[in-house]
Copies of this chain bind each other. A is one copy, B any other.
Amino acid sequence: MTNIRDLAREAHVSVTTVSRVLNDHPYVADDKRQAVQAAIQKLGYIRNQTAVHLSTGQTHTIGVMLPFVDHPYHAAILQGIARCAFEEGYRFLTWQTNYVESHEHTVLKALAQREVDGLIIVSHSLSVDEILQYEQYGPIVFCEYHPHASSVYINHYTAFQKGLKALQSLHHTEIGICLGRPDSTNSLARKQAYQDTVSDDARPEWIYEQALTIEDGAHVARAWMNQSQRPTAILTASDHVAAGIILELREQGYRIPEDLAVIGFDGSDLAVVLNLTTVAVPYETIGRHAFSIAISDSWQQHPQTEIPTTLKNGTTASILCVK
């Protein structure tokens, strides 16, 4: 493997001059520059990036920690990160943690070990404090709201409130909600929005937890059918869950939204094909913002960037479907 020393010898210049040519530095005579370039051609030289990384102390790589890569929600954030990273000449490493804490530690360690210049945390199960201990090694940006950390987030409280108020404006008073992991930051905010907005009509038995997948949605539907007192509308935390509920209920002969109004969350392809009423989230934008914070110096101020959501009208809970 030929290196810059070989080039220097071949071109009859010093390694410094070679390095200058390689990095487009000024102050190098044209004849020498050409001599170096000729040597590069002749010897088929290719720069070793690892050596650059060691020498400069930077890898130009950002790490991304997320539970799963194959969920539309996360993939869309990745999309934003990918676009931005490419534009900036950065790479990104992805770690899939499945919310396993030991795996999350692996990711944090990678930051400490200088494998990456910074970290974007899409979702996590370790405590924020524990994660922030690694901030001494480089920028850590969350895609969730955390007041004492750099975070790019959607306001799950107001987003959920938006859905709930829409249902109320359709004269629903018996409203249920679906949550994902019950103790996650997002779920807590959503539950709070539920209690504040629906207030007196809020009922614990209408809060369906651990609802994350299509399959989980079907479970929720079955639970709903078995209840003596049923909500007339359900706001979910993902389009997948909404889809599961709707499919199962239709299967059983119920009509949506007449028997049960359902609102999704995400604005994914599922919402398009099922024509779901849903809370659309610009995930790609979140990824872009998170990335640009991670590679700038602004992260040190722990900036808070809220990304707005929009309620997208469909046929599973719309004015058109209500008398």
Q: Is the CB of B70 within 8 A of A83?
A: no
- Interface-lining segment among A41-49, A185-193, A305-313: A41-49
Can you list 19 residue pairs at the A/B interface with Cβ under 8 Å? A46-B113, A48-B54, A49-B115, A53-B53, A53-B54, A69-B82, A70-B72, A75-B75, A78-B94, A79-B96, A82-B95, A82-B96, A86-B95, A86-B96, A86-B103, A92-B93, A214-B273, A269-B270, A270-B270
Q: Is the interface of A mostly helix, strand, loop or mixed?
A: helix
Residue among A61, A82, A112, A269 facing the most chain B CB atoms (10 A cut-off): A269
Q: Is the CB of A272 within 8 A of B82?
A: no
Q: Is the CB of B54 within 8 A of A51?
A: yes
Given A49-B110, A49-B115, A82-B96, 12 new contacts (CB under 8 A):
A46-B112, A50-B50, A50-B53, A50-B114, A53-B53, A69-B75, A70-B284, A75-B75, A91-B115, A92-B94, A94-B94, A247-B273
Listed from nearest, the 8 A-B pairs whose CB atoms lie closest are A70-B79, A82-B96, A70-B75, A49-B113, A50-B53, A49-B115, A50-B54, A243-B273
A68 within 8 A of B: yes
A256 within 8 A of B: no
A207 within 8 A of B: no
- The complex places the Cα of A49 from the Cα of B112 at a distance, in Å, of 9
A166 within 8 A of B: no
- The complex places the Cα of A82 from the Cα of B69 at a distance, in Å, of 8
- Which residues does chain B contribute within 8 Å of A115, judged by CB atoms? 49-50, 91
CB-nearest residue of chain B to A242 = B273
Interface size on A, residues (CB 8 A): 46
- Which residues does chain B contribute within 8 Å of A132, judged by CB atoms? none
Closest CB in chain B relative to A198 CB, distance in Å: 28
The residues of A with any CB-CB pair to B shorter than 8 Å are: 46-51, 53-54, 59, 61, 68-72, 75-76, 78-79, 82-83, 86, 91-96, 103, 109-110, 112-115, 137, 214, 240, 243, 247, 269-270, 272-274, 284
- Which residues does chain B contribute within 8 Å of A93, judged by CB atoms? 61, 91-93
- The complex places the Cα of A24 from the Cα of B306 at a distance, in Å, of 47
- Which residues does chain B contribute within 8 Å of A137, judged by CB atoms? 46
- Which residues does chain B contribute within 8 Å of A114, judged by CB atoms? 48-50
- Which residues does chain B contribute within 8 Å of A96, judged by CB atoms? 79, 82-83, 86
